[in-house]
Amino acid sequence: MIRIGQGIDVHAFCDPKDVIDTAEQFVTLAGVNIPHPVGLLAHSDGDVVLHALADALLGALALGDIGQHFPDTDEANAGLDSRVLLRHVYDLIIKKGYHLVNADITVMCERPKLAKHNLAMRTNIAEDLNTQIDNISVKATTTEKLGFTGRQEGIMVSAVVLLTQTDNV
């Protein structure tokens, strides 16, 4: 038995006018703090990569979405480390008798450039999902300056996962 899941997440960048010290700003993507003149607006750490991935995992087993599991109205989730969230979600998957085959993630943004952070992002995800790094793909693309990602107003991420029943392995 195999199951496929898809997740999409978007976070907007902060208004540059509200940023006092651009040198200290960063975005957190797959647990990696990547320097960028403006951070992402979020109730949690704004890790748009891990949110899309967690939604894909939940979607594969029709377990709802991270908004239901981690409501942003709950103060306990303020500033939440999304790697904690991801590991919690993956625990649910394991308890349902499934585990990850592979994940393929596409990050859509003009900036920051992600190539030199790719290995660190994949390493974090592989660690959290207890799998080999070659089961985790992270790709980055621009949208040719079109749309909100092209105007550098935010980052969008799409994630697809394949799960298989643990008993069959």
The verdict on whether omega for the bond into residue 112 sits within 30 degrees of 0, i.e. cis, is yes
Q: Which is nearer to Zn ion, 98 or 157 (CB)?
A: 157
Q: Alpha-carbon distance 130 to 26, whole Å?
A: 27
Site string for Zn ion, 140-169 (x = CB under 5 A): ------------------------------
Site for Zn ion in 38-57 (CB under 5 A): 51
Q: Exposed, middle or buried by CB within 10 Å (0-12, 13-18, 19+), for 134?
A: exposed
Q: How far is the CB of 13 from Zn ion (least distance, A)?
A: 13
Q: How far is the CB of 120 from Zn ion (least distance, A)?
A: 20
Q: How far is the CB of 136 from Zn ion (least distance, A)?
A: 19
Q: Which is nearer to Zn ion, 10 or 162 (CB)?
A: 10
Q: How far is the CB of 61 from Zn ion (least distance, A)?
A: 20
Q: Which of 3, 7, 9, 31 binds Zn ion (CB under 5 A)?
A: 9
Q: How far is the CB of 48 from Zn ion (least distance, A)?
A: 5
Stretch binding Zn ion (CB under 5 A), from 3-11, 16-24, 86-94, 155-163: 3-11
Residue 161 near residue 99 (C-beta atoms within 8 A):
no
**Residue 41 CA, distance from chain mean position:** 14
Q: DSSP letter at 16?
A: G
Q: Two tokens at 101?
A: 């085959």
Task: Check binding of 83 to Zn ion (CB under 5 A).
Answer: no
Given the rule CB under 5 A, which residues bind Zn ion? 9, 51
